[in-house]
Chains A and B, each alone.
Chain A
Amino acid sequence: MTAVPAPAGGLTTSPAREPGRTRRRRSSGQNGAGWAFSAPQVVLVGLFVLIPILMAFWVSLTDWRGRGSPFSTGVGFVGFDNYATILTEPGLPRQDFMTSLRNNAWYVVFVVPLQTGIALTLALVLTSKIRAKSFFRTAFYFPTVTSSVAISLVFIFLFTGAGAVNGLLGLVGIDGPNWFSDSRGLLHLAGEGLGLWDASSPPAALTGSGPLGLSWWDWLSGPSIALAALILLVVWTSAGGYMLMFLAALQDVPADVQEAARMDGANAWQRFRNVTLPALRPTLFLVTTLGLIGTWQVFDQVYLISQGNPAKTTLTPAYLSYTSAFETGQWGRAAAMSFVLFAIIVVLTTVQRYVMRDKDAIAEKRAAKAAQRRRSSSSRTTFFHAGR
């Protein structure tokens, strides 16, 4: 077993490692030095990440009430009861948890593509020939470095019923909603707008049943207007940060290939689609992965702005877990929620990695690996292959 976290290189398609025979001979001495240098970090990560995670897992298997140590004798072991409460047993705890997952899923579906798309667009704009580049770079990046508390407070005022946003909407004749207290789902509203259904008396086929304690009508509500305001806030905040990553990656797009494409008569869109975008693939993967992980853990905006209201449409698993533990003292259930959330993030990231895998690179690697296997019997399995 190794306590070292997975190397970040596993996320990108780093070139295959050179066998380097001469280096190998010396590696035993380097190995010791490597451990010595990483020991402080290993201890810190272990002490503040690994052990707390294991402790939290233990808590999720107990009926600990938050008094004294969860390892003391008075604490009862309940197996997977806490998981059953939030996943399989009908009742309010499961309904709350599923509602929070529903909200967060819609949140992710909107935030990740939006922030990635906007970040990429901004980065492309900033690499084109516009004036005052550094001004715009700073302006776009500014929300990312501003405290989320400050931004959330400003958004509360912007999005009140008589706030600036509704004032602007009023100029173009739109009567804006009372954003943070409007629990109507966007898809419900859209369906009503298209004449598919009447949101106040939804079709019985959808309300009658549904998986995991929520009806299909509830699952398919879309983000509520309150959640939509949170989505706008987060996209605006985080797009600038991801823009910087794209900006860095754009510097590395090989100019000669761009030029060759131009010589071949490719237009701007073709050059973007067939040269720039493939070159950005590792960054695109990084940005969507970080976005996916970050959005599934959204907490601070909910805590500051809406506390899960209105009608639980901004409740997220992270916030529900916090309130279950600190407000209502159901520590085991709260810990179970965070492990379910962890599992969801791992599964989705794995799926995403599979979807976004570079098929050419995999074929190349496989060929190189086969060649290497022919040369020597000791072949290394890289992190990249292990996940396949």
Chain B
Amino acid sequence: MRHPIRRSAQAAVAVATLSLAAACGGGFDDSADQQESGTAPLTMLIASSGDAETQAVQAQVDAYEQESGTTVDLQVAADLSQELAQGFAGGNPPDVFYLDASRLADQADAGNLFPYLDQVDDLDDFYPNLVDAFTYDGTQYCLPKDFSTLALEINDAAWSAAGLTEADYPTTWEELSTVAQTLTTGGQTGLVIGDTRDRVGAFMTQAGGWFLNADGTEVTTDSPANLEALQYVQENLAAGSFAYPSAVDAGWGGEAFGTGKAAMTIEGNWLVGAMEADYPDVGYTVVPLPEGPGGAGTLSFTNCLAVSADSDAQDAAVDLATYLTSADAMTALTQDTGVLPSRQSLADAYLEQFPERQAYIDGAEFAQGPVNAPGVEQVLIDFDSQLGGLATGDPQAILESTQTNLEQAIGG
């Protein structure tokens, strides 16, 4: 070291330069963007299933711009949760965004959401259990824009080839087992269902169980009802009349169903669009899920139009969200995209147009939403990964470990 002092001085200058640069980096606060009220430009971040959906939303947004004079920048996310996370961390989130019901508790708990349902007058037109899916800790956060439920899809050709008639459509677990057994022949499996809580969970609700109790305060995963459901699925998996998609070399239930590897599947109303696009020649019938020992049960999947707590223009954002969930806009938006209107008043008109979607709509009355508690995602992923081995696994052990993990996640 010839010039220790000079060298450390140079290093100090370098560090100072860095700190300065970093400090400047912190200066991108958007406080300067504050606009006069009424004309604040809004950003809206959505996830889209494709061009048709994007264009349908864009059309409604354009109509809103015309009516209100507010400009809306509609952005389609490639990965919604990642882009949302970036927006929240950067302090510059989109004003309005799609939020899946399964993500509500985490986002609400982190304080990212602005609850606006107290500003909505016709809230009772929305299905109550969908609004419940967007209620966390007693606060109702956002309006469900549409929903989907699960039903049983039956391949007509396979059905009649097995000598079955409409009278044989299964309405109980026993009947489901029987027809699945009958339909299992050669390369065809009776029922192919996804190996996640989003499909197997339907059996849990039909048995009268679920991960949490009704008000989400207590973990009830290791209940006898849930055990009965898993045992039922396990027995049928072992018998070969039920199978997971990977076992029949399919990506999901719909693919197995469309390619004829499955005579029945349990999927939601998105299957309708997928069948039209990929397997237009397969004739099929949609019937309600069979009832279990706990009665009828299905699962619902829904997105809401959430408003950011950090939005600069919350009033305008709420205005946009309510506009897009109004009866007119919802009718247009649920037209081509295969989702169901979340307003009860629209159900009749919708069914007149799409009578074959009756079973999906009917599920809305009693459908169970996703697990509504913060910090449980990893636990549920773990549950899913254990479901993959259900055929040879121990249902009691699966439920017990999930019970422990959920208690830990919710308690801590």
Chain A residues with CB under 8 Å of chain B are: 1-3, 24, 27-28, 31-32, 35, 39, 42-43, 46-47, 50-51, 65-70, 91-93, 96, 160-162, 178, 181, 183, 200, 308-312, 324-331, 378
Q: Indicate whether B50 reaches chain A with its CB closer than 8 angstroms.
A: no
Question: Contacting A46 at CB < 8 Å: which of B18, B81, B85?
Answer: B18
Whether the pair A65, B110 counts as a contact (CB closer than 8 A) is yes
Whether the pair A1, B15 counts as a contact (CB closer than 8 A) is yes
Cα distance A162–B291 when bound, in Å?
36
Q: Indicate whether B275 reaches chain A with its CB closer than 8 angstroms.
A: no
Cα distance A142–B81 when bound, in Å?
35
5 pairs of A and B residues whose beta carbons are closest in the complex:
A181-B246, A161-B249, A65-B110, A46-B18, A328-B377
Shortest distance between the CB of B255 and any CB in chain A (Å):
11
Shortest distance between the CB of A215 and any CB in chain B (Å):
13
Whether the pair B310, A327 counts as a contact (CB closer than 8 A) is no
Ordered by A's residue number, 7 sampled pairs between the chains whose C-beta atoms are within 8 Å are A46-B15, A46-B18, A67-B88, A68-B91, A92-B409, A310-B388, A329-B110
Cα distance A327–B378 when bound, in Å?
9
Cα distance A24–B3 when bound, in Å?
11
Chain A residues with CB under 8 A of B388: 181, 183, 309-311
Q: Indicate whether B282 reaches chain A with its CB closer than 8 angstroms.
A: no
Q: Indicate whether B11 reaches chain A with its CB closer than 8 angstroms.
A: yes
Chain A residues with CB under 8 A of B386: 311
Chain B residues with CB under 8 A of A32: 10
Given A2-B11, A28-B2, A51-B22: A328 and B89 interface contact (C-beta under 8 Å): no
Shortest distance between the CB of B411 and any CB in chain A (Å):
11
Chain B residues with CB under 8 A of A160: 249
Chain B residues with CB under 8 A of A91: 405, 408
Cα distance A51–B10 when bound, in Å?
18
Cα distance A233–B65 when bound, in Å?
50
Chain A residues with CB under 8 A of B385: 308-312
By beta carbon, the residue of chain A nearest B387 is A311
Shortest distance between the CB of A79 and any CB in chain B (Å):
16
Chain B residues with CB under 8 A of A50: 18
Q: Looking at B1, B2, B85, B385, which has the most chain A CB atoms within 10 Å of its CB?
A: B385
- B: number of interface residues (CB 8 Å): 47
Given A311-B388, A328-B377: A67 and B249 interface contact (C-beta under 8 Å): no
Chain B residues with CB under 8 A of A39: 14, 17
By beta carbon, the residue of chain B nearest A182 is B246
Other than the known A28-B2, A67-B111, what 11 A-B pairs have Cβ atoms closer than 8 Å? A3-B18, A31-B10, A32-B10, A42-B14, A50-B18, A65-B110, A92-B408, A92-B409, A310-B388, A312-B385, A328-B378
Q: Indicate whether B277 reaches chain A with its CB closer than 8 angstroms.
A: no
Shortest distance between the CB of B310 and any CB in chain A (Å):
7
Q: Indicate whether B293 reaches chain A with its CB closer than 8 angstroms.
A: no
Shortest distance between the CB of B46 and any CB in chain A (Å):
18
Question: Contacting B3 at CB < 8 Å: which of A31, A42, A51, A325?
Answer: A31
Given A47-B22, A178-B249, A327-B81: A92 and B379 interface contact (C-beta under 8 Å): yes
Q: Which of B306-329 contact A (CB under 8 A)?
A: 310
Shortest distance between the CB of A51 and any CB in chain B (Å):
5
Cα distance A69–B90 when bound, in Å?
7
Shortest distance between the CB of B320 and any CB in chain A (Å):
22
Question: Contacting B247 at CB < 8 Å: which of A1, A65, A178, A183?
Answer: A178
Chain A residues with CB under 8 A of B377: 327-328
By beta carbon, the residue of chain B nearest A70 is B89
By beta carbon, the residue of chain B nearest A42 is B14
Shortest distance between the CB of A364 and any CB in chain B (Å):
25
Chain B residues with CB under 8 A of A309: 385, 388
Whether the pair A47, B21 counts as a contact (CB closer than 8 A) is yes
Shortest distance between the CB of B177 and any CB in chain A (Å):
25
Chain A residues with CB under 8 A of B375: 328, 330
Q: Which of B200-248 contact A (CB under 8 A)?
A: 246-247
Chain B residues with CB under 8 A of A329: 85, 106-107, 110
Chain A residues with CB under 8 A of B1: 378
Q: Which of B354-412 contact A (CB under 8 A)?
A: 375, 377-379, 381-382, 385-386, 388-389, 392, 405, 408-409
Whether the pair B246, A96 counts as a contact (CB closer than 8 A) is no
Given A69-B91, A96-B382: A328 and B106 interface contact (C-beta under 8 Å): yes
Whether the pair B10, A67 counts as a contact (CB closer than 8 A) is no
Cα distance A328–B112 when bound, in Å?
14
By beta carbon, the residue of chain B nearest A312 is B385
By beta carbon, the residue of chain A nearest B3 is A28
Shortest distance between the CB of A357 and any CB in chain B (Å):
27
Chain A residues with CB under 8 A of B246: 161, 178, 181, 310
Q: Mark B37-64, 1 if CB is under 8 A from A, else 0.
A: 0000000000000000000000000000
By beta carbon, the residue of chain B nearest A36 is B10
Shortest distance between the CB of B286 and any CB in chain A (Å):
28
Q: Indicate whether B25 reaches chain A with its CB closer than 8 angstroms.
A: yes
Chain B residues with CB under 8 A of A46: 14-15, 18, 21
Whether the pair A24, B14 counts as a contact (CB closer than 8 A) is no
Chain B residues with CB under 8 A of A93: 378
Q: Indicate whether B66 reaches chain A with its CB closer than 8 angstroms.
A: no
Chain A residues with CB under 8 A of B310: 67-68
Q: Indicate whether B82 reaches chain A with its CB closer than 8 angstroms.
A: yes
Chain A residues with CB under 8 A of B17: 39, 43
By beta carbon, the residue of chain A nearest B10 is A35
Shortest distance between the CB of B137 and any CB in chain A (Å):
15
Chain B residues with CB under 8 A of A161: 246, 249
By beta carbon, the residue of chain A nearest B88 is A67
Given A3-B15, A200-B392, A329-B85: A324 and B378 interface contact (C-beta under 8 Å): yes
Q: Which of B5-19 contact A (CB under 8 A)?
A: 6-8, 10-11, 14-15, 17-18
Cα distance A3–B247 when bound, in Å?
54
Cα distance A46–B110 when bound, in Å?
31
Given A162-B249, A309-B385: A66 and B88 interface contact (C-beta under 8 Å): yes
Whether the pair A326, B88 counts as a contact (CB closer than 8 A) is no
Shortest distance between the CB of B2 and any CB in chain A (Å):
7
Shortest distance between the CB of A161 and any CB in chain B (Å):
4
Cα distance A161–B85 when bound, in Å?
36
Whether the pair A24, B110 counts as a contact (CB closer than 8 A) is no
By beta carbon, the residue of chain A nearest B25 is A47
Cα distance A311–B408 when bound, in Å?
21
Q: Which of B104-155 contact A (CB under 8 A)?
A: 106-107, 109-112
Shortest distance between the CB of A363 and any CB in chain B (Å):
27
Q: Looking at A3, A27, A96, A328, which has the most chain B CB atoms within 10 Å of its CB?
A: A328
Whether the pair A65, B18 counts as a contact (CB closer than 8 A) is no
Cα distance A326–B87 when bound, in Å?
11
Question: Contacting B85 at CB < 8 Å: which of A68, A92, A162, A326?
Answer: A326
Question: Contacting B111 at CB < 8 Å: which of A65, A312, A326, A331?
Answer: A65
Chain B residues with CB under 8 A of A326: 79, 81-82, 85
Cα distance A331–B375 when bound, in Å?
12
Whether the pair B89, A68 counts as a contact (CB closer than 8 A) is yes
Given A68-B88, A161-B249, A327-B81: A51 and B18 interface contact (C-beta under 8 Å): yes
